[in-house]
């Protein structure tokens, strides 16, 4: 699809991709199938430019391998929307020096923009911390000109058209007199500088669309909504100007076992009614891998009572301490008692009735047994 040999290196693949993309981008190609072919070229490049996907494709015929990529690999190549991954990036790339000029004729922004993505983690990953390899698309420094935008490495010069202002003024004669209009300079794109011998690969921008991977280290105890920054891995700036950052927003998925509030965790455990009467130690799985937590259910535990276990919640970021685990105890009445066991329970109930005791009335005090008064007979 890209017209490269099977053993082509990364630079050859990228050059072939850019050439095809320039031909097929809907902004420059009016063919009815241009958009579909552009998508196909994007997909081919996203596979061949990713070492892991390419290796899987060569070996198994599937970029995801025989059983997927694994939990440490996250593909964000479609985060920009549009025509599958690189669509919006190419919109910026085909805009040349593009960008928006500010009011008053100020030069356009040349520093690369930040790129924001959302990384979804399980609660266990948030608890233990992890390293994720993220594949994504961005405008990266051009390999052929080392980001300078110049084919011969020469520094850019002041634009002769706008004298470095980045704006040009045109005058038109109308029936109402002369009218002046100020617009972005068409030769420098508003930067105020031009490259005399622009690089053929990037057209003088010093940056090209690229599919890249980066490792993101997620600290243990990270909270939903927190942002992790990878410096310099956002959009590349024009002609060697500083790149933006990759900003990773963390989203922690709901967990079937736990509810998280801050660094504390909440879960449930069920005991049988006799265990609630006598008290016992129950074991529940913790949030850390292979962790088992002992929960001491007190004697006389009531349904819905909460037992706190300190130091078994989520790790606190930057600390060895952990939050608490709060266990809500459910009490289950056994339904499988034998006749002998039921008889024993009946004896206990009878003893309590003889003592004048009864089930808790809600105020924590025993309530004497009530006797129903006899109703008077009706007279005929």
Q: Which two tokens stand for residue 187?
A: 């030769």
Token pair, residue 99, equals: 């960008």
Task: Give dist(CA 57, CA 38) in Å, integer.
Answer: 20
Tokens 């979804």 locate to: 120
pLDDT of res. 367? 46
Both tokens assigned to 94: 């085909």
Query: b vs e for 72-95, b when ≥16 Cβ sit within 10 Å of the residue's Cβ?
Result: ebbbbbeebeebbbbbebbbbbee
pLDDT (tens digit, 9 = 90+) per residue, 90-134? 666 765 554 444 444 444 667 889 999 999 999 999 999 999 999
Q: What is the pLDDT of residues 332-375, one digit of tens each?
A: 999 999 999 999 999 999 998 888 776 655 554 544 444 444 44
**Per-residue model confidence as pLDDT tens digits over 312-340:** 999 999 999 999 999 999 999 999 999 99
């Amino acid at each position: 699809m890209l017209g490269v040999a099977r053993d082509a290196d990364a630079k050859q693949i990228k050059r072939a991709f850019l050439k095809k993309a320039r031909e097929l981008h809907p902004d420059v190609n009016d063919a009815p199938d241009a958009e579909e072919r552009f998508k196909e070229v994007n997909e081919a490049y996203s596979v061949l430019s990713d070492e892991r996907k390419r290796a899987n494709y060569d070996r198994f015929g599937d970029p995801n391998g025989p059983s997927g990529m694994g939990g440490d690999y996250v593909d964000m190549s479609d985060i920009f929307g549009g025509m599958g991954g690189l669509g919006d990036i190419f919109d910026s790339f085909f805009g040349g020096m593009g960008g928006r000029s500010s009011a008053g004729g100020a030069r356009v922004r040349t520093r690369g923009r930040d790129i924001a993505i959302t990384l979804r983690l399980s609660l266990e990953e948030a608890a233990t911390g992890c390293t994720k390899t993220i594949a994504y698309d961005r405008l990266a420094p051009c390999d052929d000109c080392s980001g300078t935008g110049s084919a011969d490495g020469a520094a850019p010069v002041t634009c002769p058209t706008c004298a470095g202002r980045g704006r040009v003024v045109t005058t038109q004669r109308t029936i109402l007199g002369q009218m002046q209009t100020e617009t972005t300079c068409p030769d420098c794109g508003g930067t105020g500088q031009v490259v005399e011998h622009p690089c053929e690969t990037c057209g003088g921008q010093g940056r090209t669309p690229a599919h890249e991977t980066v490792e993101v280290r997620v600290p243990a105890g990270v909270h939903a909504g927190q942002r992790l920054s990878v410096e310099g891995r956002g959009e590349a700036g024009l002609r060697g100007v500083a790149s933006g950052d990759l900003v990773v927003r963390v989203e922690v998925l709901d967990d079937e076992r736990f509810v998280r509030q801050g660094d504390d965790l909440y879960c449930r455990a069920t005991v049988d009614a006799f265990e609630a009467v006598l008290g016992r130690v129950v074991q529940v799985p913790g949030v850390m891998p292979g962790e088992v937590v002992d929960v001491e259910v007190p004697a006389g535990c009531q349904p819905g009572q909460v037992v706190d276990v300190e130091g078994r919640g989520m790790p606190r970021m930057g600390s060895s301490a952990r939050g608490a685990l709060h266990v809500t105890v459910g009490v289950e009445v056994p339904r499988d008692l034998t006749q002998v066991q039921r008889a024993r329970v009946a004896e206990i109930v009878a003893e309590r009735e003889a003592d004048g005791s009864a089930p808790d009335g809600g105020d924590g005090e025993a309530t004497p047994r009530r006797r129903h008064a006899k109703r008077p007979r009706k007279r005929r």
